[in-house]
């Protein structure tokens, strides 16, 4: 029997077949979970949906529930969870695997972080960090018997990674938000944890200036002497979403070939 047999959960958001969310989903579905998915409706929502559905089909769960959601819009969050309640009744887990910052301010050029305008900062923090609070709150009524919430973060939230800039500040906020949510929701048997993934070639990662150097750096410096595979994030996600981690909350688990542990 799968580690997630009988569990239902929501995974937000898949952009394409490289998305970490898709790899988490494949592992969750393989372990017996029933999942619903979110996608960001871009300028052409039908086209966005078709692209995401195609990625889901490639991963073998093309038939599962998929619904649009822009986390910057309260009314879309409400619509998403109303629809999820109609479809699933209750859920056991929520996966937050989404982020955004204006790529013009994710550059390695000297001074690039210092020039971050107020609106760029606010948008990055709103979409990438506040959304965890908003989504978890919206999910509460679907989790009457407790549950597990996870969010994806990166080392750039703790240490300076040149080019990560405003997204690093957003990840620091996301990680702190996860700890405060874990404390608030512990009495309701809801656990909240983060996974700090090493660099993975996804649409979002490619927006970060100098990302290619990071892949080479990880390979040279990390104890495992290689970069991670998104599937490895999926496997750790299964652990955090399953009862195997029933005593774990407010934690950050690194899936980064051990890169964060090395000083030199
Ligand atoms: N790829 C990496 O190297 C890496 C490393 C560590 C952490 N992460 C984190 O993993 C998570 C998933 O990113 P990914 O690398 O799979 O890239 P991705 O581009 O596949 O996923 C990012 C997702 O965020 C969604 N998104 C952006 N703005 C949104 C909004 N307003 N409303 C709803 N959704 C929105 C996009 O539609 C997309 O589905 C992010 O939190 C990212 O910071 C990525």
Structure tokens at 49: 């949906």
Ligand 1 centre distance from Cα of residue 203 (Å): 8
Judge contact between 195 and 240, C-beta under 8 A: yes
Cα(60)–Cα(222) distance, integer angstroms: 32
Predicted TM-score (pTM) of this structure: 0.98
180 belongs to the catalytic site: no
* 11 within ligand 1 shell (Cβ under 6 A): no
* 98 within ligand 1 shell (Cβ under 6 A): yes
| pLDDT for the residue numbered 253 | 98
DSSP 8-state symbol, 167: H
Whether domain 8-257 has CATH 3.40.630.10: no
Residues 67, 154, 239, 254: which is the catalytic one? 154
Ligand 1 centre distance from Cα of residue 128 (Å): 8
Cα(34)–Cα(11) distance, integer angstroms: 10
Element (H, E) at 35: strand 34-39
130 belongs to the catalytic site: no
Q: pLDDT in tens for each of the 264 residues of the chain?
A: 899 999 999 999 999 999 999 999 999 999 999 999 999 998 899 999 999 999 999 999 989 999 999 999 999 999 999 999 999 999 999 999 999 999 999 999 999 999 999 999 999 999 999 999 999 999 999 999 999 999 999 999 999 999 999 999 999 999 999 999 999 999 999 999 999 999 999 999 999 988 889 999 999 999 999 999 999 999 999 999 999 999 999 999 999 999 999 998
Following DSSP, what letter does each residue of 228-250 receive, concatenated?
Answer: --HHHHHHHHHHHHSGGGTT--S
Burial class (CB within 10 angstroms; exposed 0-12, middle 13-18, buried 19+) of 41: middle
| pLDDT for the residue numbered 138 | 98
Domain positions in the chain: 8-257
| pLDDT for the residue numbered 264 | 80
Ligand 1 centre distance from Cα of residue 1 (Å): 31
Q: Mention every residue, 6+ apart, whose C-beta is less than 8 A from residue 174.
A: 128, 129, 132, 151, 153, 157, 194
Q: Which amino acid residue places its CA nearest to atom 11 of ligand 1?
A: 97
Cα(17)–Cα(202) distance, integer angstroms: 9
Q: Which ligand 1 atom is nearest residue 69's CA?
A: 33
């Amino acid at each position: 029997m799968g580690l997630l047999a009988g569990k239902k959960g929501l995974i937000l958001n898949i952009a394409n077949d490289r998305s970490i969310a898709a790899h988490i989903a494949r592992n969750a579905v393989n372990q017996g979970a029933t999942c619903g998915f979110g996608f960001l409706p871009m300028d052409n929502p039908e086209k966005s949906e078709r692209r995401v559905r195609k990625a889901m089909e490639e991963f073998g769960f093309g038939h599962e529930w998929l619904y649009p959601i822009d986390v910057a819009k309260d009314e879309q969050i409400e619509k998403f969870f109303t629809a999820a309640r109609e479809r699933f009744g209750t859920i056991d887990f929520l996966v937050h695997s989404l982020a955004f910052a204006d790529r013009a301010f994710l550059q390695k050029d000297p001074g690039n972080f210092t020039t971050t305008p107020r609106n760029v900062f606010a948008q990055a923090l709103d979409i990438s960090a506040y959304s965890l609070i908003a989504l978890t709150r919206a999910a509460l009524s679907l989790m009457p018997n407790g549950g597990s919430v996870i969010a994806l973060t990166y080392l750039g939230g703790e240490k300076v990674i040149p080019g990560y800039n405003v997204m690093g500040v957003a990840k620091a906020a996301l990680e702190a938000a996860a700890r405060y949510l874990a404390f608030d929701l512990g009495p309701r048997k809801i656990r909240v944890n983060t996974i700090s993934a090493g660099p993975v070639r996804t649409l979002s990662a490619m927006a970060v200036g100098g990302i290619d150097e990071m892949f080479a750096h990880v390979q040279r410096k990390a104890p495992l002497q290689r970069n991670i595979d998104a599937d490895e994030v999926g496997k750790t996600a299964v652990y955090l979403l399953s009862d195997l981690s029933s005593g774990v909350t407010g934690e950050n688990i690194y899936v980064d070939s051990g890169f964060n542990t090395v000083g030199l």
